Amino acid sequence: MKVVICGAGLVGTSIARHLAGENNDVTVIDQDAALVQRISETLDVRGIEGKASLPNVLEHAGAKDADMLIAVTFSDEVNMVACQVGHSLFNVPTKIARVRQQSYLQPIWADLFSRDNMPIDYIISPEREVARAIGRRLQVPGAIDVVPMVDGLVRVVGVVCAENCPIIDTPLRQLTELFSDLRIVIVGIIRNDHGMVPKAEDQMLVGDEVYFICDAEHLTRAMASFGYEEPEGRSVIIAGGGNIGLTLAEEIEAEHEGVSAKVIEHGADRARYVAQMLPSTMVLNGDALDGEILEEAGVQQSETFVAVTNDDEVNILAALLAKRNGAKRVVSLINKMTYGPLITTLGIDVVVNPRALTVSSILQHVRRGRIKGVYSVREDFGEVIEAEALETSPLVGKTIREAKLPPGAIFGAIKRGDKVIAPRADTVINAEDVIVLFTTYEAVKKVEKLFSVRLDFF
């Protein structure tokens, strides 16, 4: 597949790394000569210096022969125009744009991105992705990651094994025997910052980050098995009234009945604007690092404190200060992943990374075959994939034992009709089954082939 990526920033580089690693033909455009040089030297991609919305630059990048154009520059307008030019002049089949300005995304302007106006096939909004991700974590206290798949019937969940976790130091093959009603499949363990796909004899240890897949109906029981039985948080303080903070507060007002939220915003004008947009939310004008402001917001009684300002350091410090002052659980937005290994040791419960969420959203539209959903579990580990098994798939008619997935891949759940099945060794895969599985990045291409559509299907 030939892909043109507009923007060599963090997101553009991450996408280029994934696609180049899977032997795709990737060209990256950026106005910053230093970024172009760096990406050309570190990745197997072609780098071009120039403004991505200009026709001659896109032509030089090979847009005429491209299968996909992904526009993730820092400018919404450049991203949108690049997609327009890619469509009008070069007939690029698939166009993806990152759009951060929420005004473009209001429902009343939905027709803007139609094929007759500005033909963008998929719009990615990091602010909305982050707000939704935090909202899901609020609903499942204890989870560091929660992703719905298969129309919400299946959950992909990440947790940290604490000392009170009832199932640590137990071989995974014994979990079914000891907990007969525990219908989960553990698909990934991150230990000492290194990810691994577990085998039957492996055990979970204190401090491990564990990713499992389960039927949504069994999520409460699954969380209890890891020692997390807290109810959904009912009081939330949001530090930062920018696009992410505002979007999160709007989602809480609309989707989380019975949850009260307060917003702390440093800028006076922005605080007034946020207050006008949120009729049911208290907005405080002040510094989230000010103990008096935190006390006024009621941090000592709050269940969850969420720091989503534009400054990573402020988010980290505000979250730690809130926890010291009584917040039961703290969530911090972090853009620089160099801080990642430090965060959990500092006492921050959940870290949300906008870049990782944006990459997941884009990869969902890049994957081939009958793949319906993709979620990235860390940039250096793997993906959870939702895919449909067609009649021509080599998996159909075989048991899980016979399927022989490539090394690094593991079945997590199967949806058959309206039911979700926890896969066992003797489970037979049928045509039209929707399968949720985890795969390391090294095995992605082989997994894609298992769900590809052969010509004799038509």
pLDDT in the model for residue 451: 82
Beta carbons of 304 and 235 less than 8 angstroms apart: yes
Pick from 400, 377, 410: nearest CA to 199: 410
Q: Mind listing the domains of the chain with CATH numbers?
A: 2-124 (3.40.50.720), 235-356 (3.40.50.720), 357-457 (3.30.70.1450)
Name the band, by pLDDT with cuts 50, 70 and 90, for residue 455: very low
Beta carbons of 434 and 371 less than 8 angstroms apart: no
Residue type, 417: G
Q: What is the DSSP letter of 170?
A: S
* pLDDT at residue 456 greater than cutoff 50: no
How crowded is residue 258: how many other Cβ atoms within 10 Å of its Cβ?
Answer: 6
| Average pLDDT taken over every residue of the chain | 89
CA–CA dist 280, 453 (Å, integer)? 50
* pLDDT at residue 413 greater than cutoff 60: yes
**Which residues does residue 438 pair with via DSSP β-bridges, in sequence order?**
384, 410
**For the segment 258-291, what is each residue's pLDDT rounded down to a tens digit?**
888 999 999 999 999 999 999 999 999 999 999 9
Residue 235, token pair as written in the block: 């009081």
Rounded to two decimals, the pTM is 0.82
Q: Which residues of 387-414 are buried (b: 16+ CB within 10 A; e: fewer)?
A: bbbbeebebbeeebeebebeebbbbbbb
Beta carbons of 392 and 453 less than 8 angstroms apart: yes
pLDDT in the model for residue 457: 37
pLDDT in the model for residue 128: 87
Residue 246, token pair as written in the block: 């505002």
pLDDT in the model for residue 36: 95
Highest mean pLDDT among 127-136, 343-352, 369-378: 127-136
**For the segment 117-138, what is each residue's pLDDT rounded down to a tens digit?**
888 999 999 888 888 888 888 8
pLDDT in the model for residue 453: 55
**For the segment 216-258, what is each residue's pLDDT rounded down to a tens digit?**
988 988 898 898 887 666 899 999 999 899 999 998 988 887 8
CA–CA dist 56, 427 (Å, integer)? 54
DSSP of 296-348: HHTGGG-SEEEE--S-HHHHHHHHHHHHHTT-SEEEEE---GGGHHHHHHHT-
* pLDDT at residue 140 greater than cutoff 90: no
Percent of the chain at pLDDT exceeding 90: 52
39 vs 452 pLDDT, higher one: 39
Name the band, by pLDDT with cuts 50, 70 and 90, for residue 26: very high
pLDDT in the model for residue 368: 60
Sequence-ordered list of residues with C-beta below 8 angstroms from that of 239, at least 6 positions apart, any chain: 245, 264, 288, 305, 306, 307, 308, 309, 314, 315, 318, 322
